[in-house]
Amino acid sequence: MFGTTGGGGAVPALSRQEPRTASDTALAPWPLAVLDVPGLRRDGLRPTALRQFILKVHSRCNLSCTYCYIYHAADASWRSHPARATGDTMRRTALRIAEHVDRHRLSEVRVDLHGGEPLMSGPEAVLEYVAEVRAVLPGSCELRTSVQTNGTLLTESGLGELARAGVRVGLSLDGGNAALNHRRVDHTGRPSWPAAERAARLLARHPGTYAGLLCTIDLNADPAEVYTSLAELRPPTADLLLPHANWSHPPPGLPLRAPEAVRTGNPAAAPYGDWLAAVFDLWWDADRSERPHPRIRLFTEIIALLLGLPSTTESVGLSPVAALIVETDGSIEQVDSLKSAYEGATRTGLDVFRHTFDEALDHPGMVARQLGTTALGRACHSCPVLRVCGGGNYAHRYREGSGFRHPSVYCADLERLIRHIATRLAAVVPPLVPPNGRTA
Ligand code: SF4
């Protein structure tokens, strides 16, 4: 079952099977050309059922943010997708979700409507998609729904319609003022902030429908200004996202390096870790009785992992990933973050008209993201914070020519942040589980 091919060096690799395409083989042999999915299934590896379905309502966006990984990254597949999901795609997707729920006896699933900009056709398309799913789900399964928007097209009446349908609204921003959002511009370069700020104020008046904020980290921005300005918009949650990058396309502010250079426990430059640690201290030390205080998911996830709980996000931890995407044409794809790796990295070759979601779970890329430590590179296997970090976001492990079996390109940053949080947490709560999960 195990061989030695793969990007991670001496850790056992899985045996070869026929590659999906020649370009896949060249760009990401691990997992696409290496992972022996039938063999793994024969050996007892069971798929984890999907719990989150990210449905593309509209594949175009009215903004052109300079760092956008969909429109400015290696993958331009959005150009081949129809602008809007048709009624047929919506109905078929809904039936596939219901089929999956039934087969796995799921009591709860999450449907997130994304784009492009999902409100490009108004809230109607979002409401239609949600109604299609609700109509076919068994009553025993709770459906949680949200739409992730840039906010520029959100109106009071539209928000009311979404709220009545039980659809919560998440907003994407880079901070809570105009200067911090200078990279979020429309196709003519005009700033999106005035319209986005209106949406943020509107959502703050409707906390029951406010899902939270997504914010991509910009090292040039002051972490205190970003945190304080975001908190003043009163989101219930704020997700701070590392820019999508990998060993072949390094993050802004980090030099091009090789995964073999990873040495855990050394004082390598970790500007993103330092940036996040600065925000953590503000967040941790904030007077909760006086200031708005959003839940910051990366921090709460790391704290939970340090306390021995499983993760619920792909960013950290070793929990199997249970999410996939349905594009506007009904094609089943892996998560969008992979678009930062190479053209076609999200592709599975499957679609909701011909394939079940269980078939998607057998795609090597999906299996790789449900493998836990087996999917990690050599450095991770001896890493003292392995159980908490989990190798970081799968998309950030990519290196052209070998694939995804590497530590995260943010390895030093993740270790810096985890150790910082562990130190602050230890002052209040003795750690129940060491970060590597081993007992002394
Ligand atoms: S587990 Fe995380 S911190 Fe440790 S080597 Fe892997 S990527 Fe780096």
7-29 pLDDT tens trace: 333 333 333 333 456 666 678 99
Ligand 1 lined by 273 (C-beta under 6 Å): no
Is 16 inside any structural domain? no
Cis peptide before 31 (omega within 30 of 0): yes
Q: Is residue 188 part of a domain?
A: yes
**What pLDDT is stored for residue 16 in this prediction?**
38
> 387 lies in a domain?
yes
Structural domain contains residue 5: no
pLDDT digits (tens, 9 = 90+) for 154-212: 999 999 999 999 999 999 999 999 999 999 999 999 999 999 999 999 999 999 999 99
**Which of 260, 315, 381, 389 is the pocket-test mutation for ligand 1 (most atoms within 8 Å of CB)?**
389
- pLDDT band of residue 260 (cuts 50, 70, 90) is confident
Strand partners, 146: 112, 168
Q: Does 98 map to a domain?
A: yes
163 within a domain of the structure (yes/no): yes
- pLDDT at residue number 69: 63
Q: 235: which 2 tokens?
A: 């989101």
Instruction: Evaluate whether residue 286 is within a structural domain.
Output: yes
Cα(277)–Cα(425) distance, integer angstroms: 13
The residues, any chain, with a CB within 8 Å of residue 155's CB and separated by 6 or more, are none
Q: What is the CATH number of the domain that holds 94?
A: 3.20.20.70
For ligand 1, whether the C-beta of 202 sits within 6 Å is no
Q: Tell whether ligand 1 has an atom less than 6 A from the beta carbon of residue 391.
A: yes
| Ligand 1 proximity of 414 Cβ (cutoff 6 Å) | yes
Pocket test for ligand 1, best of 247, 263, 264 (most atoms within 8 A of CB): 264
Instruction: Confirm or reject: Cβ of 411 under 6 Å from ligand 1.
Output: yes
Report how far ligand 1's centroid is from the alpha carbon of 407 (Å): 5
CB 276 within 8 A of CB 270: no
Q: Is residue 438 part of a domain?
A: no
DSSP letter at 145 equals E
Q: How far is CA 35 from the centre of its chain?
A: 23
Asked if the model's pLDDT at residue 277 lies above 80, the reply is yes
Mode of pairing for the β-strands spanning 295-296 and 323-326 = unpaired
- Could you say which DSSP state residue 338 is in? G
- Give the integer Cα–Cα distance in Å for 26 and 352: 28
Quick one: pLDDT band at residue 76, thresholds 50, 70, 90?
low
Number of domains in the chain: 1
Predicted TM-score of the model (pTM): 0.90
Q: What is the pLDDT of residue 20?
A: 59
Let me know: does 209 contact 169? Beta carbons within 8 Å: yes
Q: What residue numbers bound the domain in which 155 lies?
A: 46-427
Quote the tokens at residue 367: 């299996």
